Structure 1
Amino acid sequence: MTLDAQTFMQHLANGISVGSLYALIAIGYTMVYGILRLINFAHGDIFMMAAYFAFFGIAVFHLPWYVAFLLVIGVTVLLGAGIEKAAYRPLRDAPKSSVLISAIGVSFLLENLATFLFSGKPKAFPDFPAMTRVLEIKGISIQVLTLVVPLVTILLLFILLFIVNHTKLGMAMRAVSKDYEIAQVMGIKIDRIIAYTFGIGSSLAAIGAILWGMKYPQVSPLMGVMPGLKCFIAAVIGGIGNIKGAVMGGFILGLAEVLLVAAFSSLTGYRDAIAFILLIIILLVRPTGLLGEKTAEKV
């Protein structure tokens, strides 16, 4: 099936928007892995909890959207840091398999806790007319949100890169990522730096959840499962542990999903499978990812 220029541009804009959301969440995976060599499988469920926080802040407590969003980010940061302290910190010196099992356990805990507290019935995310308004640009119909999401992602990427490369916190994070035992000997407060890392990753997940809720206005306890897996795949595609790689992987995955389904409508039911096919190809061709480097892991 061939696409005319207008249709292609329409799908390209949608692919970039979806890819931007994947990129935001993928950064959380890649930051934690870069420092702890830990795949935080609970990250997708932190994203889900942030979506519920936003829903209750606006739809139930009727807070102004800007107040609700700031509170959502703050509460999600505390949730991420709390999970690190309760579930991961006590296992800092345990075998990697123990930490991985703990991460999976936290994921199931959050999903079942959300089901118990909020019920399994999906809830409608509040509508934001300013974001869902459709613009006509040279015959192409694009939602305002479709333009806003990539801009927010790029802005946050530059802020994060500045923090990592040009601040004392970033210097400490890079030192811990190289060898946290040596960094501790040099006087770096390891627990604090790791907590900051989880907090930053969780804040990006919160922003991603807010934007995701605007784009796909439905909240449910399992809403973080598939996006979480896809964003992990995006991080692997780009080179897990590399922030720029996570963003690149997110865009590649989003564009591949949207454009392939647009070009081949018969693949519509297999959209989620595209991510796993890309993962297999990357692992076969370049196991470290597009921007990843080989590192020797401690055992």
Structure 2
Amino acid sequence: MDWAQQIVNGISLGSIYALIALGYTMVYGIIKLINFAHGDVFMIGAFVGFYAIKGWGMGIVPALLLSMVVCAILGVVIEKVAYKRLRNATRIAALITAIGVSLLIEYGTLYLRGAQPEAYPNAFPNQFFTIFGASISSQSLYILLISIVLMVILQWVVYRTRIGKAMRAVSYDAEAARLMGVHVDRTISATFAIGSALAGAAGVIFGMYYTKIEPLMGVVPGLKAFVAAVLGGIGIIPGAVIGGLVLGTVETLVSALGYSPWRDAAAFIILILILIFRPSGVLGKNMREKV
């Protein structure tokens, strides 16, 4: 067994989970909401990329950018229509609404296009390279490269731009940020837009990785990305990246060892262990909260 190749494949898969998990953790860090519709935004991104490449003849980069733009707009619409008026409601109300939005997107897509899966077009030839004696597929390297570039851009946006400073201020104390002149509503919308754009990009590269997409494809990767966010520390951006990479690597190694039926269960076993032994996540800190 080529362990180096399995690890590279695991890191590539984990980078997809990390991109989705970043949306979960950014939204939670701002408004303390678990946006369970996020996995379905990821699904929409995969279909936008599919139609852009196969139907409109776009290359992978234009298709990726189009998917990110469409998903960013969708994320803002979801926030404005479904979540904005629930800012001061109970968390259970917001959570139920998120589940409702998720089901609406899933079954709305099923109604519009049917349940049949689609074979994702091959955007670039898959070749194999020998690196330090290990055979590595070019597809895994492309996916890893795209994910790293997007994560670096996200870090730059969060820590070097005005909107990033506003996001960090609102995350720390929304009312104090408002008093200091930060437009809180605009900042929350920007957070949904950025997180949803990353989910759209993840949908495109997920389609290239697994070569098949369908309207319910966002459920399991969405849940796994949520596990990755909890593993790293929900609300902490580097934690989402670490959690995604760990989860993808564990899944791939479980499959490589011959336990493929357990690869999905591995994510939820990790979730149970984290909640038992370190509920705040790898990078999180235990904090008291009044209820």
Structure 1 and Structure 2 fold alike (TM over 0.5) = yes
TM-score w.r.t. the length of structure 2 is: 0.95
CA shift for structure 1 position 113: 0.8
Partner of residue 111, structure 2: 116
The answer (yes or no) to whether the contact 2:121–2:208 under 8 Å persists in 1 is yes
Q: What residue number does 2:230 align with?
A: 236
Partners of 1:206 and 1:49 lie apart in 2 by: 7
Cα distance, 1:143 vs. partner?
Answer: 1.7
Residue 97 of structure 1 pairs with residue 89 of structure 2: no
Give the 5 Å matches for 1:37-186.
Answer: 37-130=32-125, 132-186=126-180
Task: Tell me the distance in 1 between the aligned counterparts of 2:56 and 2:290.
Answer: 48
Q: Deviations over 1:170-190 (max 9, x none)?
A: 111111111212222222111
Matches within 5 A, 1:279-294: 279-294=271-286
| SS, match of residue 182 in structure 2 | coil
Q: How many residues are aligned here?
A: 291
Q: Which deviations, in whole Å up to 9, do the C-alpha atoms of 1:214-256 show, x marking residues without a partner?
A: 1111110110100000000000000011110000001111111
Note if 1:19 corresponds to 2:14.
Answer: yes
Which deviates the most, 33-42 or 70-79?
A: 70-79
Which secondary structure state, in structure 2, belongs to the residue aligned with residue 199 of structure 1?
Answer: helix
Secondary structure at the counterpart of residue 136 of structure 1 = strand
Shift of 1:49: 0.5
Deviates more, 1:148-157 or 1:133-142: 133-142
SS of equivalent residue, structure 2 residue 33:
coil
Is the deviation greater in 144-153 or in 214-223? 144-153
| C-alpha distance in structure 1 between counterparts of 2:271 and 2:178, whole Å | 35
Partners in 2 of 1:63 and 1:162 — Cα distance? Answer: 28
C-alpha distance in structure 2 between counterparts of 1:89 and 1:227, whole Å: 26
Query: Over aligned residue pairs, what C-alpha RMSD do you find?
Result: 1.6
Q: What secondary structure does 2:135 align onto?
A: strand
* 1:214 equivalent in alignment to 2:208: yes
Once the two structures are TM-superposed, the CA of residue 195 in structure 1 deviates from its matched residue by 0.5
Give unpaired runs (5+ residues) of structure 2.
none
Letter in 2 for 1:38: L
- Structural mapping, 1:246-285, within 5 Å: 246-263=240-257, 265=258, 267-285=259-277
Counterpart in the other structure of 2:31: 36
Q: Which amino acid aligns with 2:224?
A: K
How much identity, in percent, do the aligned residues show?
A: 49
Letter in 2 for 1:217: T
Structure 1: where are the runs of 5+ without partners? none
Take 2:62 and 2:266, find their aligned partners in 1: how far apart are those partners?
A: 38
